[in-house]
Amino acid sequence: MSILFGLSVLAHRRVVGIDKGKIQVTRVPWGASRVMLILFYTIILRFFLEFSMLTVFPRVFLNNLTMLTLGELSLIAPLMVYLTKKRISLIFLGLDAEGVIPYSRFILIMLPLMLFTGVLSGVIVQTLIPIPKEFEKVFEVLIPISFTDLIFFSIATVLVVAPCEELLFRGFVQRGLESPLGGTGSIIASSIIFGLFHLNPWQFLPAFTLGLILGYAFKKKDYRIWIPIALHASYNVTLLVLSYFFTA
């Protein structure tokens, strides 16, 4: 009995640490193989959804905001099914009750760096590989053309886009790749995957550099997912506001 008790204590310490009275997850119950499997299911689901929206039900899903929201939810659906089936708590993804208020200063410091690297990498890519005219319309659908568009796109970014993408790519992918690749390797690998999921060369580099910063912030602040969610949402909303005023 004493041996079993000792093993249970050891297992608990490998998964959960206590830092100033806060629960801190130090190891997750999934690895690289599970990450690859969930990403595969995610790709299949997203392909099926986009095919349905563009061909089977084009009139129903003509609204850009609807397409954006459903597309982002498809990113998180296979992960949520997996976590529910395996009865894995969301705390392993970094969700806790602390929120982002204690980290407001850190977020304000990191945001300008994200904007600078994002814009710079975007300029570099578009200089090396000019965007064809047929692809320009793809990017224009997410540019708010009215103040109402700006409000609704911003709300979708804060409530759907940032949470879904960060839970998947930082909370699940990055943490799952830490065991075989280490901290730095998992940040780089998850950022590459994050860039590839944007499905075009013009967004790959900005998404990759953004992923590096978000992954660093996630690890730096003890794997609290609210930090990269807040940074990602702030970054996207800032770009939406700038695009609205510069294209108005």
25 with 106, same domain: the answer is no
- Do 109 and 7 belong to one domain? no
Question: Domain for residue 202, yes or no?
Answer: yes
13 and 62, same domain (yes or no): no
| Average pLDDT for runs of 10 along the chain of length 248 | 35 42 69 95 88 64 72 92 94 83 88 91 86 72 82 92 96 94 95 90 90 96 93 93 80
| pLDDT of 21 | 41
Q: Do 6 and 63 fall into the same domain?
A: no
Helices (H), the chain: 2-15, 32-51, 64-86, 104-128, 133-140, 147-156, 162-166, 175-196, 201-220, 226-247
Residue 22 counted as domain residue: yes
Same domain, 1 and 108: no
Looking at residue 7, its pLDDT comes to 32
In a domain, 51, yes or no: no
Q: Looking at the domain assignment, is residue 40 inside a domain?
A: no
The answer to whether residues 118 and 26 belong to one domain is: no
Residues 14 and 62 in one domain: no
**Structural domain count of the chain:** 2
In a domain, 76, yes or no: no
Whether residues 172 and 124 share a domain: the answer is yes
Whether residues 125 and 25 fall in one domain = no
**Per-residue pLDDT at 59:** 53
Q: Is 187 part of a structural domain of the chain?
A: yes
- Looking at the fold, whether 151 and 204 belong to one and the same domain comes out as yes
Q: Considering the domain boundaries, does residue 130 fall inside one?
A: yes
63 and 12 housed in the same domain: no
Contact 226, 94 (CB under 8 A): yes
Dihedral-angle region of residue 126 (phi above 0 means left; psi in -120 to 50 means alpha; beta otherwise) = alpha
Asked if residue 14 belongs to a domain, the reply is yes
Closest CA to 153 of 144, 164, 163, 165: 144
Cα gap 125→248, rounded to integer Å:
25
> Could you tell me if 19 and 115 lie in one domain?
no
* 1 CB-contact burial (10 Å; exposed 0-12 / middle 13-18 / buried 19+): exposed
DSSP one-letter string for 65-93? HHHHHHHHHHHHHHHHHHHHHHT--GGGG
Domain enclosing residue 5, as ranges: 1-30
- The mean pLDDT value of the chain amounts to 83
